[in-house]
Amino acid sequence: MQKTKGRRIILPPVVRELQKPFFSKKIDPDLESLMRFNGIVQRYAEGPPIARQYLSGGAGTEMGLPVSEEYAAEFEALSRLLYLQPRTESKEKTAFAQEQLRTFLKERNIELSGGFRARDFKLPNLHHTTYELILEVLSLLPDSHLTSEHFSKLSLGGWGSGAAKCSQYIDQEVHIYQFPLRGARRNLVAILLHEVGHSFFAGLSREQIIVLHNFRKMMATKARSDIFGVQKPELVLAADYLYGAESRITYSLGTTNEFVPESYMHYVTQGAFTAEGLAERRDIAKSENDTSEPSHFDSFVRSVPPKLANAYNALWRFLRQQFEEVEYV
C-alpha cells in the first residue's frame, strides 16, 4: 500500500497531485468551474450536450446548460485525467473493494457505514477504484490517528444538511457525502484528509490548541486586510481543490478549528520539508524523470519572508511530532 524508508512515506501520485495547480493550462472559465465542483457533461440522442453544474453539492441542487461539441470534447479529455472512474462496473469488484476498506477500518475499531439519508445506510455503489483510493489515503496515516476515540465511524454517501454539503465531522464520525465521491480525485483526497484532521483536532490538548490558535491569528494578520478578504494570498500555504487555493485560504484562516484540519491535510499532501526528505524526493524524481518541484511546501517556505518561513517550519515540526515523526515525500 505504501513505501517507507526510515520515518518517511513516499506519497502515491494521486496524493502528490495536490502539490500542483488543478489544471496544467488555462481552460474555458465555465468549464473550469464545472470541473472544480465535480460537474458532468451528458450526451443525448437528440440535442446538444448538457453540462450539469452542481450548485451546492446537495441533492437536487444542480443546473443544466447546453454546451458546444468542442466544450464537451475538452471536458471528456480532462475528466479522463482528473476524475474518479465512472460508476458502472461489476458488483463483485465493488463488493470486494468495500470489504477491503471495511476490514482495514474494523481492525482499527472504526465502523464503515452508508451516509446520512442513504437508503438503509447501505454503502454507495461506487467504482472499486474509489474505495481503493479511500483505503490508500487512510493507509498513509499513523494508526494512532485511526484508533482515536475521536474517530469511530466513516460514513460514505448520502447528503448533508445546512452548510455541510461535501463532508462533515460530527460526534466522532467522518462523513463524506455523495458529492465528493464523484468527480475530481483531488477533491476526495483533500476532503477526506481534512475531515480526519477534524478528529485529530478533537484530540489535542487545550495548551496545544492555544498555540495553534495564536499561530493562525498571526497568519491572518499578515495575510489579510480584514475578515472579509485575503490581501496577500501568496503568504499562505494552500492546496488547489474545490473552488481554488485562494478560497481555501479565506476559509481556513477564519477559525482555528478549520485551520488545523486544513494544515493536517497540507502536512500529508504538500511534500517534504527536511533535508533528508527533500534529498529522497529528488532521488525518486530523478529515477522517474519527474521534472516538477520536489516539494510544494519547500518551494513555498523559500518564497516567503524568513520570520514567516520559520513559523511554518515550527508548525511542521509540531505536526511531525503528532504524526509519530513521519514525513511525507
For residues 71-90, give the mean pLDDT: 89
- Please write the tens of the pLDDT for every residue from 4-63: 445 899 999 999 999 999 999 999 999 999 999 999 999 998 999 999 987 655 555 678
Residues 6+ apart with CB under 8 A from 154: 105, 110, 111, 112, 113, 173, 174, 176
Residue 30 CB neighbours (<10 A): 14
How far is Cα 126 from Cα 128, in angstroms, rounded to an integer? Answer: 6
| Listed range (44-53, 121-130, 144-153, 218-227) with the worst mean pLDDT | 218-227
Report pLDDT for 55.
66
Mean pLDDT score across all residues of the chain:
90
Report pLDDT for 300.
97
Given a cut of 60, whether residue 310 has pLDDT beyond it is yes
How far is Cα 129 from Cα 205, in angstroms, rounded to an integer? Answer: 37
| Listed range (71-75, 119-123, 183-187) with the worst mean pLDDT | 119-123
Cβ distance 173 to 153 under 8 Å?
yes
Q: Which long-range contacts (CB under 8 A, 24 or more apart) does 103-110 make?
A: 104/135, 104/138, 104/139, 105/138, 105/146, 105/154, 108/143, 108/146, 108/147, 109/147, 109/152, 110/146, 110/151, 110/152, 110/153, 110/154
Cβ distance 103 to 138 under 8 Å?
no
What DSSP element (H or E) covers 76?
A: helix 69-82
For residues 115-134, give the mean pLDDT: 80
DSSP-derived secondary structure letter, 124: P
- Please write the tens of the pLDDT for every residue from 152-181: 999 999 877 666 678 999 999 999 998 899
Q: Edge to edge, what strands does the sheet with 3-5 contain?
A: 3-5, 8-10, 327-328
Q: CA of 3: how far to CAs of 6, 15, 39, 319, in Å?
A: 10, 14, 34, 21
* Band of pLDDT at residue 117, cut at 50, 70 and 90: low
How far is Cα 217 from Cα 220, in angstroms, rounded to an integer? Answer: 5
- Please write the tens of the pLDDT for every residue from 236-295: 999 999 999 999 998 888 899 999 999 999 999 999 999 999 999 999 999 989 888 999
What DSSP element (H or E) covers 185?
A: helix 185-202
How far is Cα 130 from Cα 54, in angstroms, rounded to an integer? Answer: 20
Given a cut of 60, whether residue 118 has pLDDT beyond it is no
Number of helical (H) and strand (E) elements in the chain, helices listed first: 13, 12
Report pLDDT for 3.
46
For residues 192-213, give the mean pLDDT: 97
* Band of pLDDT at residue 228, cut at 50, 70 and 90: low
Helix, strand and coil content of the chain, in percent to the nearest 5, comes to 50, 15, 35
